[in-house]
Amino acid sequence: MSRPRRITREELAGDSLDVARLLLGTVLRAVGPDGPVAVRLVEVEAYRGPDDPASHSYRGRTNRNEVMFGPAGHLYVYFVYGMHFCANVVCATDGVPSAVLLRAGEVVEGVDLARRRRPSARGDVELAKGPARLASALALDRGDNGIDLTDPAAPAGLFAGDPILPGQIRTGPRVGVATAMDVPWRFWVADSNAVSSYRRGGKRRPAVQRG
C-alpha cells in the first residue's frame, strides 16, 4: 500500500485564502517522543501580513513571528494565555508574511495516544476540536516552531487526504480576534462534528487565536 503524498512547498506558496481551502482534508502527522498522531484538518483560518491587522505580522518582523516570513511550508507555533499552543502553516512567497491557523481536526491515527494527551476530552470528536486542543493532541509546542513540513526527515508532515468538494466547504468570520473580525476567512468542512464553536471577538477579548 502506497504512502500518502506529501504536500509540497510549491502548493503552499500561494495566497493564504487559497491555501486555507487546500488544507481542508489534508492530514497533519506529528511524531512525538511517545509516538505518532495524525489529524485530518476540517477547520482553518487564513491570515495575511501588512494588510491584515489581525495577523501577528501586521506590525512587522519580530523574533516571535520570524517564521511567518517564509519560506512556505514551515510550521509556526505560538503560545497564548500562558498555557496553550496554536499551530499554523506558513504560506505565500518567501519574505511575504502569511499563515493559516489550524483550528480543528479529526484524529485518524494514534487515537489512544491522543486520548492520553487530552484526558479531559469528552469523546474522540473533541480531541482536536479547537486550535489549542489540536496542538495538544499532536504534542506540538514552541520547540516545533519552524519545522519544515515538506522535509521527509522532519518530525511532522502534511499529507494529501480525500479531496473536499467545493460544496462541502463553508466560510465565515474569524474566531476570537479583536480586529478585522468580520472577514470570511475561516473555512471548514460542513459535515464534520469536529469543527469548533464560533465565538465572535471584540474589545474585551484578546486576539489570541490568530496566525
Task: Look at residue 57 in the predicted model and tell me its pLDDT.
Answer: 83
Domain ranges of the chain: 9-189
Measured in whole angstroms, the distance separating CA 68 from the mean position of its chain's CA atoms is: 13
Between CA 105 and CA 182 the distance in angstroms is 23
Nearest CA to 30 out of 90, 101, 130, 108 is that of 108
In this prediction, the residues of the chain whose per-residue pLDDT falls under 70 are 1-2, 81, 201-211
Task: Look at residue 58 in the predicted model and tell me its pLDDT.
Answer: 81
Between CA 132 and CA 139 the distance in angstroms is 10
Q: Name residue 6's beta-bridge partners.
A: 159
Task: Look at residue 201 in the predicted model and tell me its pLDDT.
Answer: 62
Task: Look at residue 209 in the predicted model and tell me its pLDDT.
Answer: 38
HSE-CB of 208 using CA atoms within 13 angstroms: 15
- For the domain spanning 9-189, the CATH number is 3.10.300.10
pLDDT digits (tens, 9 = 90+) for 102-123: 999 999 999 999 999 999 999 9
Task: Look at residue 83 in the predicted model and tell me its pLDDT.
Answer: 80
Amino acid at 4: P
Between CA 92 and CA 16 the distance in angstroms is 7
Task: Look at residue 1 in the predicted model and tell me its pLDDT.
Answer: 46
